[in-house]
């Protein structure tokens, strides 16, 4: 078959881009011709329909106008020569083709599953954001429709499609991305030293909860793996939490990740305080494998995660995973008490399970074996085989 994969291009390479690249390689091995078409999302498009948007107006609601402009670009794509089109991130599902499959991991999150938290936390103009939300959802209702086929990145994502867009369950299949081969096939030595938290330092990944957890267990060293736009703020938060616990000052977790981290530059910090958390910065794949292989456990504190690849990567090394009860897709991987723990989104609750694993090595050993066995089904060869069979049926 001749297949087009279409995607918005933010000029970054993250987990989703890696998934798409793996899909392209896999489908080509099955003999399909696959083309990859991108629409640049950083270009400002001031002509929306028949309206020319003034730059000062555009800049006041850039997220919306970027979205509206991109929809036009996807609609204009000439894809008639392809047998199937695979759309990906918003708003690539605006493409026009009779056989469109949407590899769906999320909506424009700030105006769907993150809307309430966003308004509470970051909004500078709640009324404008409300209007934007209503407009974007109205626009999406024209494109996220039951005449398309959906591959949802998790059961949690599938529920969003049903709840927000009334997509019929029979039109949704679950796409389970595989684990990177170098991780899936790892056969080196493993140890159980420090708890780690892996991921981008962005809202709403909530590494703040991991930092807070470590202050309840000062004798254990934690490792925060990765970097992002909030890294320097998190370093200040870390010292702030360290001093607060030394002085027995109560810190509210909800306030911590929703408010404090966005005002970290205003915190009075004692730079002489020594922390029990190591910030690794950005790591290579080789270094990431080392972090996983030496981890006591892996903490995944994200709010409303779409899929949760970090969890199954961790389990490929036999590491139990601790996630939160509002963690979205992460919870699909965790059998509480068997291959990890699902806890309340607080530093204290996370710390309790870290300490439990550290102090009960016999339990840790059993959970490690369970985690490893669970990870075995997330194999890219299996994933691509299922995807190929699915596309052949359409």
pLDDT at 33: 98
The pLDDT of residue 12 is 84
CA atoms in the 13 A half-sphere facing the CB of 326: 12
Q: Could you report the per-residue pLDDT of 223-277, keeping only the tens digit for each?
A: 999 999 999 999 999 999 999 999 999 999 999 999 998 999 999 898 899 999 9
CB 89 within 8 A of CB 106: yes
Please determine whether the domains at 2-177+380-393 and 181-376 fall in the same fold group of CATH: yes
pLDDT for residue 44: 96
**Ranges of residues in the chain whose predicted pLDDT is under 70:** none
Does the domain at 181-376 match CATH 3.30.950.10? Answer given as no
CATH class of 2-177+380-393: alpha beta
Predicted confidence (pLDDT) per residue in 139-197, tens digit: 999 999 999 999 999 999 999 999 999 999 999 999 999 999 999 999 999 999 999 99
pLDDT of residue 244: 95
Domain ranges of the chain: 2-177+380-393, 181-376
Report pLDDT for 78: 97
């Amino acid at each position: 078959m001749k297949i087009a994969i279409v995607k918005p291009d933010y000029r970054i390479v993250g987990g989703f881009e890696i998934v798409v690249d793996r899909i392209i390689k896999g489908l080509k091995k099955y003999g399909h011709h696959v083309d990859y078409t991108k629409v640049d999302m950083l270009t400002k498009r001031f002509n929306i329909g028949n309206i020319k948007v003034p730059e000062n107006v555009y800049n006041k609601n850039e997220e919306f106008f970027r979205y509206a402009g991109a929809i036009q670009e996807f609609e204009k794509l000439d894809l008639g020569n392809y047998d199937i089109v695979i759309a990906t991130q918003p708003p690539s599902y605006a493409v026009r083709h009779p056989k469109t499959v949407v590899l769906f991991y999320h909506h424009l999150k700030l105006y769907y599953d993150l809307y309430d938290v966003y308004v509470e936390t970051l909004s500078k103009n709640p009324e404008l954001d409300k209007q934007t939300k209503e407009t974007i959802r109205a626009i999406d209702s024209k494109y996220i429709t039951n005449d398309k086929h959906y591959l949802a990145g998790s059961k949690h994502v599938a529920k969003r499609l049903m709840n927000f867009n009334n997509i019929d369950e029979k039109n949704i299949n679950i796409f389970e991305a595989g684990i990177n081969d170098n991780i899936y096939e790892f056969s080196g030595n493993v140890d159980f030293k420090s708890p780690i938290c892996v991921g981008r330092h962005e809202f709403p990944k909530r590494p703040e909860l991991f930092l807070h957890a470590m202050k309840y267990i000062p004798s254990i060293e934690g490792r925060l793996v990765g970097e992002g736009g909030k890294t320097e703020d998190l370093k200040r938060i870390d010292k702030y939490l360290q001093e607060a616990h030394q002085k027995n000052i109560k810190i509210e977790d909800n306030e911590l990740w929703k408010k404090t981290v966005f005002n970290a530059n205003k915190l009075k910090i004692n730079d002489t305080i020594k922390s029990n958390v190591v910030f690794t910065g950005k790591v290579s794949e080789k270094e990431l494998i080392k972090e996983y292989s030496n981890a006591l456990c892996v903490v995944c504190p994200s709010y409303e995660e779409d899929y949760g690849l970090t969890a199954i990567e961790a389990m490929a090394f036999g590491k139990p995973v601790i996630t939160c009860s509002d963690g979205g897709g992460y919870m699909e991987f965790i059998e509480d008490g068997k291959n990890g723990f699902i806890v309340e989104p607080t530093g204290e609750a996370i710390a309790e399970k870290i300490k439990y694993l550290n102090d009960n090595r016999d339990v840790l050993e059993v959970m490690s074996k369970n985690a490893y066995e669970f990870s075995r089904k997330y194999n890219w060869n299996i994933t691509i085989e299922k995807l190929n069979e699915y596309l052949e049926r359409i």
